[in-house]
Amino acid sequence: MSGDWLEFWRRDLGQTLIRHAETNRTSSVSGVAWLLPGALVALTVGVLLYGAYGYEAGFTRINQAAAVAPDWLWQWLTVLGDERVAFALALLFAWRYPRLLWALLIGAVIAALISRGLKIWVDSARPPAVLAADSFNLIGASRSRTSFPSGHTTTAAVFFGALLSIAGTWKTRLILVLLAIVVGISRVAVGVHWPIDVAAGLAIGAVAAWVGLRLAAHWPGPATNRGVHLFIVVVGVILTLTLFFSDGGYPAAAGLQMLIAVGVLLILIAQYLIGPWQRYRQALY
């Protein structure tokens, strides 16, 4: 019985991945087309800010303006750029959009290599290391080094940027773009990044998402490979479980992160266990 069920589950998963990957093999051309122009706009904004006002350009004005909103709101928004949260949310698309999951993984790896490489190379000081403590609003843990570029913003740009490929309307695409931008702004609002860091993160993330989507479109094999797919999902589940134990330095968002983790795990159980079990029982009778 258990052997039959396991064999059915393996076959069912393989067939599902192939079917869904084939159904979604063509991404939204108009959605993906937003990525490179968006990256260019973000890069241009960053260059103009730096050229006109220097590296710290715009920080004080944005940080003070953001202070009118409650601290918990900025903490909720900023954790959307946490790599663990982004990976957890990506699992919501794993069953239905295996190509998208593969594109997200490629884009995330590319973005991480670029972002972390630049952080080490540039090693710029963050606002808490430069400004007096009473001159700006700091929310959550203080950080002093590796400011450029913003890693949270880069992660958000990859995640929401890749989702443009399955967004059906321009309104949905606009919401996704705005979400990535707001996550970037939240990094200034919590006082740990300069606006130029955010602009760079948006540009890097958008380009990485575009590359990930293009590579996944021309190299779809891993998206339908059962072993690769399960490995990605298991890694994602492990990262999702860490959301129960670490708030990432933003305690007001701990409840939100736990809620995301519970929701993602329940959906995965329904998709990967309950659904196949029901199909298995139907096949028996």
CA distances from 92 to 66, 261, 265, 271 (A): 31, 11, 9, 10
> Mean pLDDT per 10-residue run, the chain (285 residues)?
80 88 62 92 96 94 97 97 97 94 95 95 94 94 92 98 92 96 98 98 98 89 90 96 95 97 98 93 83
The answer to whether position 265 is within a domain reads: yes
Residues 97, 93: Cα–Cα separation, whole Å:
5
Sign of CA dihedral 202, 59, 253, 244: positive
Residue with tokens 């700006």: 136
Q: Which pLDDT does position 252 carry in this prediction?
A: 96
The answer to whether position 226 is within a domain reads: yes
For the chain, the first-to-last Cα distance in angstroms comes to 14
The answer to whether position 16 is within a domain reads: no
Q: Which pLDDT does position 281 carry in this prediction?
A: 86
Is omega for the bond preceding 98 within 30 degrees of 0, making it cis? no
Q: Which two tokens stand for residue 129?
A: 């290391």
Residues 258, 164: Cα–Cα separation, whole Å:
26
Q: The domain spanning residue 187 has which CATH number? A: 1.20.144
Q: Which residue range(s) make up the domain with 109? A: 26-284
Number of domains in the chain: 1
Q: Which pLDDT does position 51 carry in this prediction?
A: 94
8 A C-beta contact, residue 115 and residue 166: no
The answer to whether position 69 is within a domain reads: yes
Chain segment 183-216, per-residue pLDDT in tens: 999 999 999 999 999 999 999 999 999 999 999 8
Q: Is 261 helix (H, G, I), strand (E, B) or coil?
A: helix
Residues 78, 217: Cα–Cα separation, whole Å:
30
The answer to whether position 14 is within a domain reads: no
pTM over 0.85: yes
